[in-house]
């Protein structure tokens, strides 16, 4: 593991995709009975040929400031 000071400020599309995969992988591995939907999502990230274009579509939405719901506001930045 590395500390936060070694984390980059930006990621490439490939790196961000890998991070999303590793997050799902971590959760599925940690939970004794992971949610079936997340398990299916994890499998999708590994195997569905459409995943790359879906990922690009999601990134295009994420970089639009007006996109809602904003997961940062909804989950991380709330008081």
> How does 4-25 read in b/e, with b if 16+ C-beta sit within 10 Å?
eeeeeeeeeeeeebeeebeebe
Question: Taking the CB of residue 69, how many other CB atoms lie within 10 A of it?
Answer: 8
Residue 71 has pLDDT above 90, yes or no: no
pLDDT score, position 12? 93
User: Which segment of 16-20, 37-41, 67-71 scores lowest on mean pLDDT?
Assistant: 67-71
| Rounded-to-integer distance, Cα 70 and Cα 46, Å | 26
| Rounded-to-integer distance, Cα 44 and Cα 58, Å | 15
pLDDT score, position 4? 74
pLDDT score, position 14? 92
Residue 9 has pLDDT above 70, yes or no: yes
């Amino acid at each position: 593991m590395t500390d936060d000071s070694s984390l980059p400020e930006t990621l490439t599309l490939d790196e961000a995709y890998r991070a999303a995969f590793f997050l799902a992988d971590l959760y599925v591995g940690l939970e004794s009975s992971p949610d079936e939907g997340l398990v299916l999502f994890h499998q999708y990230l590994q195997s569905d040929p459409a995943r790359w274009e879906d990922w690009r579509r999601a990134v295009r939405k994420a970089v639009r400031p007006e996109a809602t719901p904003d997961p940062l506001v909804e989950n991380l930045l709330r008081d």
